[in-house]
Structure 1
Amino acid sequence: MRSISDISFCRALVLTTLFLGEYSIAVPVDCNRPTSKTAKIVIVGAGIAGIGAARKLLKQGFTDVQILEASSQPGGRIKGSLFGKSVLDEGPQFIHGATMKNPIFRLATECGLLQEATNNSGTDWSVFTNTQKQLGPDFVETLRNLSTFLHMQAYLQIQNNTRLKSIWDVYEVGINELIKNWTDDSPNVRSQKLGGLNLMMKNECAFFATPNLHDVSLQQISEYGPIEGGDRNSPGFFPKLISCLMEDIPREKLLLEKPVKQIQWNENFESCDGTTHPIKVVCEDGEFFLADHVIVTVSLGYLKGEADTLFHPKLPEEKLNAIKSLGFGTVNKVYLEYEIPFWENSQHWIGLLWEDETPFSGLKPNIAEWWRRIYSFYMLNPVERYGHMLLAWSSGRETEFMETLCEEEIASNITRLLRQFLGRPVPQPKHVFMTKWFSNPYIRGSYSHTSINSTGDMFDTLAEPLPQEKGDGHLSEMLQVLFAGEATYRRYHSTTHGALLSGWREADRLINHYSIFEGQQLQTKHVA
């Protein structure tokens, strides 16, 4: 799920194993235990959407809530792993919108988890070229200005209802316009500017989790709504937040290592106490759970691969089309631990600019030279916490390929890359850790975007519950299958706060549903 750091001149991406073994207690179905007085609700997935929904339902008195999580720990794409001297964030680590308007920030404040948070704006960049030149602050400022120009062109095209379809369509026009004004530049300066713009494009691809900007709809700019307050970097915060939220959920309400095979809905399944329920959630181990409602919080990447068989009967065609059409890509982090640092204490970022790449050619898939997709290195601080460690990002087909490589191959190629740009000896890292979101069988990528083949309406379509309302007033037949997760929240898709809000939305939907239903029953009783 997206976690964006402020890289000053453009936008950068960061993506998120806190072990909570006490939540691994499996409680089989017991037909002799007392039945709940509330609806039976199953939540598929213990990411922040599922945990948020369960926590809200339990606080509102819904006692028969069961979370089923396929992996060995809660959190979903929020994940931390012990590496070197500290627990590192595999997924989110930035709060996007550090104000009380952001529900993540509010929860962080309530849980007292912001002691180590830092504002990530204003960090210094050192940009090096593949010909071993270090470009000064003036060039970095020029690159900021070029980036700002292209972003403004994109916003203007949105306002003018342009016929251009993708973000790249706008950037291509803008870059050609910029080139016309570079008549006084030397060939080297032109190469550096074009290489700098391509560095920005790699950064943009990571921001949107896409192999290239041809695939990202121009409407993405208007569909995604940032929250004011800037980005707040809080290492290790998100796994701690999951732990904090789980304190309000009884241990028996979460079953780990319980992947779901199929969700059967719109039927009449009889339980051993004689009650009937419209839903049967069948797990891969053969155990099943009968329910009145199921909240599905699995990732869009998982739905893309499994939606056809996960639901019976199949999902409506418009929902399947939304799953197929919305964009969902991969961004990975690469952590490199060193015995001694080879960088200066004053450096925060190292940017890599290839003078032989341009925005017109530099983002074609290049598996053979996958290291070219790595565009920057971030120095983790403080040293007392992390030791001497760098963090890099990669995206697209190249990062999917990198997941197949061993630690030694990644380390040797990145070392050669750094030596080529810095022009001086660079030691081999003593350890390398790389996230593998694409090959995670229950996630299959990082987060969503509005692809060239989709519209913002498709986020809303994905969020619609089933069966759909027919207008006949039969509330008890509605809201069998509900959907949550970052890809179901139109304005804040790709973010942790969007995922959390989607879980709260579906919990509120059920809470309101039963308030109305109970009101109708009470009214019918009075009439009788």
Structure 2
Amino acid sequence: MNFSAACLILVLVVKLSCVATMKEDIKNWTVEIFQNGKIVCAGVLLNRNFFLTLGKCIDKRKLDQYKVTIGGGILRKIDIVLEVIIYINLLMSKKGNLSNYTTSFNQVIKKIKNKDGKVEVETEGGTKYEADDVIVTFSLGVLQSRQVSFKPSLSKEKMLAIDKFGFGEYTIAYFEFSDAFWDNVSSLVYAPARHGENSIWYNMNTIYPGCNILQLVLMGFEANAASHMNDNEVKESGLAALAAMYPQISIPKPDAFVRSDWLTNPLTKGSFSYWTPAFRPEDMKDLGKSEGNIHFAGEHLGLKSHAYLHSAYNSGKDTAQRLARSVRD
């Protein structure tokens, strides 16, 4: 198969209604998306008028069912889904048309080769794709794990930058209850015998009143430990912490429970990037530089906004547009 660039990410740019009354000083740029009163997805503000989310999060035919909370509690409706962005649509073939591009989903990449001025991408199932250029958007955790092989190998400078940047151990779990038995505050802190064990809780009722959801945040060792536990073990551990926090209350079983699997998911191998003491600004150039016809994008390539969704979006857009200009030239 021949095409100018490969991509696998589908995102939506969504326009908000009633944005004129929003305050300029929005310190929390996260967006929570609700459908018929239930939280279904999250996103990030691009500016006062638009936010970014995954393509699967919103059914464009049912916009009246959705509401979003912005900046930690400002409630808005969705005006319109302006654009579905597939990064491959930003690139043209060297003949200047898009008539022969291919989009493939659910393909796990195992090998990438620079070969005779082309790039060959091979999946774990043995399917091979050939392109003039390829944009790689693997997470930093996947790059650090070496589970994708590059031939020739990536440069020493790039590999050093990959290994020097940090990729966090972070897990979140959500407990939904029929009623809120906890204090009506935004966050709850528990001081257990083991430092950090089920310590940090957030009251989602402060974002969406009446949802009766608690968010448990686990970091570092605790996130790593939870990644070796099944869902029921994590849930029971969290309920035990709540029972210790509220001994006068018989803690009910949650109506629903869900947790992230970022640490064990082979497509992420961690949660988000962070700046380590050894990492320098000049390392960011090595981290993002192209190697032959292989180009790179991702949340870890934002000098100031790494770790956030809008960093991934801006990085992907900028890399694709640079490649598109070079193809046209």
Q: TM-score range by the shorter chain?
A: 0.7 to 0.9
Preserved CA contact (<8 Å) 2:68 2:76: yes
Could you give the per-residue CA deviations for residues 19-77 of structure 1, whole angstroms, max 9, x where no partner exists? xxxxxxxxxx4xxxxx8xxxx323254265xx99xxxxxxxxxxxxxxxxxxxxxxxxx
TM score, norm. by length of structure 2: 0.74
Check whether the contact 1:486–1:502 (CA below 8 A) recurs between aligned residues. yes
Q: CA deviation at 1:395?
A: 1.4
- The correspondence for 2:281, drawn from 445, 452, 456, is 456
Structure number with the higher strand fraction is 2
Provide the rounded CA distance (Å) in 1 between the counterparts of 2:283 and 2:229.
35
Partner of 1:413: 237
1:99 lines up with 2:48 in the alignment: yes
The equivalent position to 1:431 in structure 2, one of 249, 256, 267, is: 256
Gaps of 5+ in 1: 1-28, 30-34, 53-79, 106-110, 122-231, 269-276, 364-369, 468-479, 517-528
Q: Deviations 1:1-23 (Å, cap 9, x if unpaired)? A: xxxxxxxxxxxxxxxxxxxxxxx
Q: Is 1:263 matched up with 2:112?
A: yes
Rounded Cα–Cα distance in structure 1 between residues aligned with 2:10 and 2:227:
23
1:428-470 CA deviation, whole Å, 9 max, x = no partner? 3233211110000011111111112211222221111123xxx
TM-score normalized with structure 1 length: 0.48
Q: Describe the shift of the 1:119–1:338 C-alpha distance in structure 2 as closer, same or farther (beyond 3 A).
A: same
Q: 2:68 aligns with which of 108, 111, 116?
A: 116
Structure number having the greater helix percentage: 1
Which residue does 1:290 correspond to in 2?
130
Q: Which has the larger radius of gyration?
A: 1
Is structure 2 residue 267 aligned with structure 1 residue 442?
Answer: yes
Q: Secondary structure at the match of 2:222?
A: helix
Q: Which residue of 1 aligns with 2:187?
A: 350
- 1:273-306 CA distance string (max 9 Å, x none): xxxx521111111111111101001100000012
Deviation at 1:246, TM superposition (A): 5.3
Q: Name 1:486's counterpart in structure 2.
A: 299
> Over aligned residues, Cα RMSD in angstroms?
3.9
Q: Per-residue displacement from partner, 1:322-360 (whole Å, max 9, x unpaired)? A: 11110011222211122333136xx24232152978xxx
Q: Shift of the alpha carbon at 1:497?
A: 1.3
- Equivalenced residue count is 290
For 2:241 and 2:203, locate their aligned partners in 1 and report how far apart those are by CA, in whole Å. 15
| AA in 2 matched with 1:99 | R
Counterparts in 2 of 1:241 and 1:333: CA distance versus 1, 3 Å:
farther
1:394-413 equivalences under 5 Å are: 394-413=218-237
- Of 374, 379, 398, 2:204 maps to 379
**Residue type of the alignment partner of 2:242:** L
Residues 424 and 392 of structure 1, relative CA distance in 2, 3 Å threshold = same
Q: Which structure's relative contact order is higher, taking Cα pairs within 8 Å and 6+ residues apart?
A: 1
User: What's the % identity of the aligned pairs?
Assistant: 19
Q: Give the direction of change, closer, same or farther, for the CA distance of 1:490–1:382 in structure 2 (3 Å limit).
A: closer
Q: Secondary structure of the residue that 2:120 maps to in structure 1? A: strand
Amino acid at match of 1:456: P
Q: State yes or no: 1:302 paired with 2:142.
A: yes
Give the equivalent residue in structure 2 for 1:280. 120
Post-superposition CA distance 1:139-166 (Å, at most 9, x none)? xxxxxxxxxxxxxxxxxxxxxxxxxxxx
